[in-house]
Structure 1
Amino acid sequence: MESIFIQLLKLFIIAIPVACIAWTVTHEEIFREPREFCNKKSEECNSILQRKFYYLFTCEYCFSHYVTALFIFITGYQLLFEDWRGYLISFFAVVFI
């Protein structure tokens, strides 16, 4: 198992692109039209599942969970433990950072 210093260094390194992607999709002008479409659908859809699906593209915090899951899957990053607990802890740690 890696040292705690290396694990924490990786935590902050992984959190940087997650935050960048989440911010860009939910706030920047380049994604304004799709975001406005999703915002409208999140308010108008009849199904609660549809409303929640579209809402996740308008909320930085919500969207960051999905981006984090993708990055954890791609990198295999684990924090503190070398089993499923390591993935769970790393998931919430990256979202927090």
Structure 2
Amino acid sequence: MRLPAAQRLKGLSEPQRRAVALVLRDLRDLRDLRDQANTEAEQAWHRRKGPMAAYWRAVSTYARHLAHALEQRTAAITPPVSDAPQEAK
């Protein structure tokens, strides 16, 4: 949630955040992306495809985190921390 991209998502208006959250949660047959990714992970695991199972678990986790971030009512934006040193004036 501290990544600059997450902060930009939190900066969207509430209707925009809800629209993106709906896309992440409500795809095709009304199963959310998280469930679909978890199903893919289980299938990959049973086929002994560990890297693909890990990939789909990550997709599931990211979908959940993004949807949660977008559904939060408060959109407090904290500026990203720059690695560049500040020049003294």
User: Shorter chain as normaliser: what TM range?
Assistant: 0.3 to 0.5
TM-score calculated relative to the size of structure 1: 0.36
Higher helix share goes to which structure?
1
Q: For the pair shown, which has the larger CA radius of gyration, 1 or 2?
A: 2
TM-score calculated relative to the size of structure 2: 0.39
